[in-house]
Amino acid sequence: MLPASYGISEAKNVKKMKVAIVGATGLVGTKMLEVLAERNFPVTELIPVASERSVGKEVEFKGKKYKVVSATDAIAAKPAVAIFSAGGGTSLEWAPKFAAAGITVIDNSSAWRMDPTKKLVVPELNADALTKEDKIIANPNCSTIQMVVALNPLHKKYKVKRIVVSTYQSVTGTGVKAVTQLMNERKGVQGEMAYKYPIDLNVIPQIDVFLDNGYTKEEMKMVNETRKIMRDDSIRVTATTVRIPVVGGHSEAVNVEFENDFDLAEVKQLLSRAPGVVVVDDPSTQQYPMPKDAHDKDDVFVGRLRRDETQPNTLNMWVVSDNLRKGAATNAVQIAEYLLGQKLI
C-alpha cells in the first residue's frame, strides 16, 4: 500500500468488493490480477472480462479459478470497480456503459486520458483530485508515469520549466506478439512480426504512429499527459521514444531544467524520501538503475544524477521502472486503493 498520508487505508471490514478486470486474459490484465493478489486488495468476487472468443475460459486468482464473462454480464453483476486494459476501442464503447450502471472505471488505455472531463491520475501526484462523481478515471501512459513520479518531488521544490526525455522501452509495452517476435528472432525462427523491422540486436526509433508534426503518438502522449498530471501547462516537454530488445522495464534519459537552482545532495535527499522512488546512484561502484533490477517491482528507480554543465538549473537523470507494474497494473490498483481508502467506491 502507499503511505497512509495518501488516504489509502488497509480497507478492513469491507463487506463486499466485486472487482471486474476487463481484458483479464491479456498481458497487462494478467499482471493486474497478480498485483491485486500481492497487495491484498479486498476482492470478494472477481469478474474477469475478455472478448467474446475468450468467454468461458478460466483465469486463476488467489488459487481459485474464475470463468471469463462478457462485458454485458459483468455490468449485470454490478462490481464496485472495473479496471480496464483492453484497448482504446473497447474502453470508448464499454467504459460509459459501466459508468452509467454506477461502476467506477479505471481505464488503462489512451481513450480518456486527454478528455478534459476525466481525471488522469498518478496517486503520488494527484489522487486528491478524485471524487465520487469520477466514474471514468484514466491511467496514464507507462513512460509518463515513471517520469512524473521521479520529477514530482523536484517540481515541488525547484519548479520544472522544461523536460527533454529519450525513452528506451521494452517490447512488453507492445504486447505478447512483440515478445514472441523478439524470442523468435533470438532463436532464428521465422514468425509473426509485431514490428515492421527486426527488434533483436536492433533499436527502433518509433513507438506508435507518426503524427503530422513528425512526432509519434507516444511522444505526444508524454508531452500532454505530463502537463495534465502535474497540473502545469507551462511545462515544456519534448520527447523521443525508442523500442529496444528488452523484455520488461522501460528506461528514460531525462534532462530537466528548473526555474530555480538546486543542490545535488538535496536532490538526492528529496528523491530518497519521495513515495515510490528508489535512488540507485553511486558512480564509484557502478551502481545505477537497470531494467533487470526493476523487474517485478513497483518502484521507480532513479540514478545517474548530475548537473547539465551546458546551462544553469538543469539536471540529468536516468529513470527506470517495470512498465507492466507501476507503468500500468500497479498504478491502476493504487488508484483503486485510494478510492477505497477515501470511501469513494
In tens digits, the chain (345 residues) has pLDDT values of 444 434 444 445 554 689 999 999 988 999 999 999 999 999 999 999 998 888 989 999 999 999 999 999 999 999 999 999 998 999 999 999 999 999 999 999 999 999 999 999 999 999 999 999 999 999 999 999 999 999 999 999 999 999 999 999 999 999 999 999 999 999 999 999 999 999 999 999 999 999 999 999 999 999 999 999 999 999 999 999 999 999 999 999 999 999 999 999 999 999 999 999 999 999 999 999 999 999 999 999 999 999 999 999 999 999 999 999 999 999 999 999 999 999 999
Closest CA to 330 of 42, 110, 136, 108: 108
CA atoms within 13 A on the CB side of 23: 26
What stretch(es) of the chain map to CATH 3.30.360.10?
A: 144-323
Please indicate whether residue 30 is annotated as part of the active site.
no
Quickly list DSSP for 23-65.
TTTSHHHHHHHHHHHHTT---SEEEEE--GGGTT-EEEETTEE
CA atoms within 13 A on the CB side of 189: 9
- Please check whether the domain covering 4-140+328-341 is classified as CATH 3.30.360.10: no
Cell numbers for 96: 460509459
What stretch(es) of the chain map to CATH 3.40.50.720?
A: 4-140+328-341
3-state helix, strand, coil in the chain (%, to 5): 35, 25, 40
pLDDT of residue 182: 98
Q: Which of 31, 113, 250, 325 is catalytic?
A: 250
Torsion (CA) 284, 285, 290, 295 in degrees, nearest 10: -140
Closest CA to 121 of 331, 345, 342: 331
Given CA atoms 310, 314, 320, 324 in this order, what sign does their dihedral have?
negative
Please indicate whether residue 142 is annotated as part of the active site.
yes
Contact assessment for residue 154 and residue 267, using Cβ atoms and an 8 Å cutoff: yes
Task: State pTM to two decimals.
Answer: 0.93
Cell numbers for 113: 486520458
Q: How far is residue 80's CA from residue 95's CA, in Å, rounded to a whole number?
A: 13
Q: Which CATH superfamily is domain 144-323 in?
A: Dihydrodipicolinate Reductase; domain 2 (3.30.360.10)
Q: Which of 21, 122, 142, 267 is catalytic?
A: 142
